[in-house]
Structure 1
Amino acid sequence: MNTLDQLHSGELKGAQQVKLAFGLTEFPRAIFELADTLEILDLSGNALTSLPDELMRMSKLRILFCSNNQFTELPEVLGHCPQLSMIGFKSNQIRTVSENALPPLLRWLILTNNLVEELPAAIGNCARLQKLMLSGNRLRTLPPELWRCSRLELLRIAANQLTDLPTWLMEMPCLSWLAFAGNPFCAKLENSARFAAPTPSIPWNQLQIQHQLGEGASGVIHRAEHFHDEQVRQVAVKLFKGDVTSDGLPRSELNACIAAGKHPGLIPVLGQIAHHPTGANGLVMSLIDTRFRNLASPPSLESCTRDVYTPGASFDIATVTRIAYDVASAACHLHQQGILHGDLYAHNILHDERGHALLGDFGAASFYPPTREQRATGIQQIEVRAFGCLLEELIERCDESTGPQGGLTTLTQLKAHCLSDGPDSRPLFEAMVPVLGELAASCATQGHPSIETAPAELAQRD
């Protein structure tokens, strides 16, 4: 965080990144003194309603955050900023998005939790667009011109007023991560899916909360003790927040966690919290063994849609194959329940030193009717591309000398099929699981871990 004194005194001269949050009601004009160097400007958490036309003078500005302000329209000056590629205006009061507000190099647009009812057709001219985050608005339709954004990989349209999911979304060549829960067209399905898979109620007074394990956009996770029938078990408790997240509504995540059911590649849900003193929703889950860790970190501002791995991260073929098998098996199970995970990323996968993997974080999960075969297949093939991205990242860090001959070739071929620009040519998870299982078994014959059920004792992380 920078200060206004630093800005006005010239102390920030030559800065490439500035963050100011002091309840500002006007754009600090001293920022223009940084026009030749500033690349990232964060003005989130103020009370701004407009930006000056002179912003186009910021010739190197690439990233602009103005979340949690009081804008009612996306400023048109943004469309004249020559290098601007990432725009974040989450949690304002934006109703209007003009076609003139979209800069030519736009790559990442965040308008989560606003009042937007319509997107301009000009969104289709944003040829570089990769991430579009629109959850928590009032959209009733999507402009068909969006289909022209052939590089679009992540789309968040949950918690809007959409009456249907456009079929042309399933034809977009790069779309990999999609969230659409909490819209009228899927609300009935979401509720019925949840009640089709009831889970026990666990009274709040049976839980003794201990230390915090983690916090995500949708909730906070604590370690806890569950006292029941004179027995005590160690559990994890996730209490959901009420706010719209970038992925959607916390209640949609809760419903998906319950409806997902049991699978060795998923974190077991033990029950739903009842009688919380403030009425908060929550889940009681098994603990994941502490040897499990996140496979990667979320995408950075630079990587945009790709996860960030620890420098020097390396995996043998057996580990890569085992992770791929566990994740594909879990995704296949979800698809059989009519659930799209929506966020199949390495940073949402926990793994141990033997390659056992658990797919977590249902914040972007959505329900779809598996009986509508063509629609269901198209939705599943979107997630298959996300799996292809995961395979690509793991293969890049794989030592091919550590597994059976031809093992890496099999994985590389599978990756290529998953990443096909023609969505209808991608294999479904139900076809990939046997292939990966056979390859994992081949690794096991060479002294590597075999396919077995993940450890029973688990410890929750988020």
Structure 2
Amino acid sequence: MDFPRELQWMTYLKEWHVRRTRICQLPDYLALFTQLTVLDIPKNAITELPPEIGKLTVLRELYVSYNRLSRVPPELGNCEKLERLELAGNHNLSELPFELSSLKQLVHLDIAENRFVSIPICALRMTSLQLLDLSNNCMTDLPQDMDRLEQLVTLFIHKNNFNYLPHCLANITTLATIVVSGDELTCIPTKLCNNPKIKFIRLYDNPASKEKKKKEEKKKEGVRRRWREQRETEEVKDSGEKEFIEAYISSLKDRDTVPYATTKVSISCLL
């Protein structure tokens, strides 16, 4: 449930990998690890990132998915060398501080499975972004200046409440993969979905699965409320669906190397 005190003397470490524990807070000696480049702490019970995290100025990768964060400290914007930031599945997270606009080297931002109703302003100023995962939030539209993300390659926006996609997405020439939910989507830029260079993937949920999802969400919310009241350990959130989508997208990349035509076929039959 706690980091060992002996760890404070190991400030030469460059990576922390701590997963699936009942640890709820980072140690007060975190700021001493000025050489830390990777902080990998998903699927724990961490409730906050301390302001001292801003002192990790050489940090390149931060993974805090599936914890209990409700906010991100503005001091994280001081970690200007950060390249990957994953905050998925914290559920109570609904905004990011504007100070994160300083993360000009960030290429991977994952804020899926939270409570965002719109894209954080700071994300639109991370012009080096190549992957942006906004899936499974509460968004109803995308901003008309999404094309500010001129280097964006992969965009996950499925499991939101979109009924249209802005035309500005078609202006992002680097865009290669976009995943959306197709149930309520009525307006899609033709240039976007007909572009052979873009993998435009529409996911559909049937009515039965939607009803089941609503019941599950209601049940989960009741459980989370009891957990907050009783201050008990929250069970680890299931990230299986997210891992499936990532594996599927990865398999599509492999398919690009498969030849479009076969010039010779040999079949043998043993009777």
TM-score (norm 1): 0.42
Instruction: Give the CA deviation at 1:49.
Output: 2.4
Structure with the larger RCO, 1 or 2 (CA within 8 Å, 6+ apart)? 1
Check the 8 A contact 2:180/2:203 in 1, yes or no: no
Secondary structure in structure 2 of the residue aligned to 1:147: helix
Q: 1: distance between equivalents of 2:266 and 2:99?
A: 54
Q: Which residue of 2 aligns with 1:30?
A: 29
Instruction: Give the CA deviation at 1:106.
Output: 1.5
Instruction: Give the CA deviation at 1:126.
Output: 1.2
Structure 1 residue 49 corresponds to structure 2 residue 47: yes
By percentage of residues, which structure has more strand?
Answer: 1
Q: Which residue of 1 aligns with 2:86?
A: 88
Cα 1:191–1:152 shift into 2, 3 Å? closer
Q: Which residue of 1 aligns with 2:171?
A: 171
Secondary structure in structure 1 of the residue aligned to 2:127: coil
Instruction: Give the CA deviation at 1:20.
Output: 2.3
Instruction: Give the CA deviation at 1:175.
Output: 0.5
Q: 1: distance between equivalents of 2:140 and 2:43?
A: 29
Q: 2: distance between equivalents of 1:454 and 1:104?
A: 55
Q: Which residue of 2 aligns with 1:131?
A: 131
Q: 1: distance between equivalents of 2:115 and 2:267?
A: 44
Q: Which residue of 2 aligns with 1:245?
A: 242
Q: Which residue of 2 aligns with 1:68?
A: 66
Instruction: Give the CA deviation at 1:15.
Output: 1.4
Q: Which residue of 2 aligns with 1:16?
A: 14
Cα 1:98–1:455 shift into 2, 3 Å? farther
Cα 1:117–1:39 shift into 2, 3 Å? same
Q: Per-residue displacement from partner, 1:362-419 (whole Å, max 9, x unpaired)? A: xxxxxxxxxxxxxxxxxxxxxxxxx5xx59xxxxxxxxxxxxxxxxxxxxxxxxxxxx
Q: 2: distance between equivalents of 1:190 and 1:105?
A: 31
Cα 1:453–1:141 shift into 2, 3 Å? farther
Q: 2: distance between equivalents of 1:110 and 1:455?
A: 49
Q: Which amino acid aligns with 2:22?
A: G
Instruction: Give the CA deviation at 1:185.
Output: 1.4
Q: Percent identity?
A: 20
Structure 1 residue 344 corresponds to structure 2 residue 221: no
Q: Which amino acid aligns with 1:100?
A: E
Q: Which residue of 2 aligns with 1:302?
A: none
Gaps of 5+ in 2: 187-201, 207-237
Check the 8 A contact 1:79/1:104 in 2, yes or no: no
Instruction: Give the CA deviation at 1:110.
Output: 0.7
Check the 8 A contact 1:158/1:183 in 2, yes or no: no
Q: 2: distance between equivalents of 1:175 and 1:20?
A: 34
Secondary structure in structure 2 of the residue aligned to 1:4: coil
Instruction: Give the CA deviation at 1:167.
Output: 2.0
Q: Per-residue displacement from partner, 1:129-180 (whole Å, max 9, x unpaired)? A: 1010111111111122321111110110011111212222122110001111
Q: 2: distance between equivalents of 1:154 and 1:7?
A: 41
Q: 2: distance between equivalents of 1:28 and 1:454?
A: 64
Q: 2: distance between equivalents of 1:20 and 1:452?
A: 51
Q: Which amino acid aligns with 1:24?
A: I
Asked which structure has the greater CA Rg, the reply is 1
Gaps of 5+ in 1: 195-240, 254-297, 299-342, 350-386, 392-432, 441-449, 457-462
Check the 8 A contact 1:120/1:143 in 2, yes or no: no
Cα 1:9–1:84 shift into 2, 3 Å? closer
Cα 1:56–1:455 shift into 2, 3 Å? farther
Q: 2: distance between equivalents of 1:99 and 1:455?
A: 65
Q: Per-residue displacement from partner, 1:436-455 (whole Å, max 9, x unpaired)? A: 65xx6xxxxxxxxx244999
Cα 1:142–1:246 shift into 2, 3 Å? farther
Q: Which amino acid aligns with 2:18?
A: L
TM-score (norm 2): 0.68
Cα 1:183–1:83 shift into 2, 3 Å? farther
Q: 1: distance between equivalents of 2:32 and 2:40?
A: 16
Q: 2: distance between equivalents of 1:14 and 1:242?
A: 32
Check the 8 A contact 2:66/2:90 in 1, yes or no: yes
Cα 1:15–1:242 shift into 2, 3 Å? closer
Instruction: Give the CA deviation at 1:96.
Output: 1.5
Q: Which amino acid aligns with 2:140?
A: R
CA RMSD in angstroms, aligned pairs only: 3.4
Check the 8 A contact 2:158/2:181 in 1, yes or no: yes
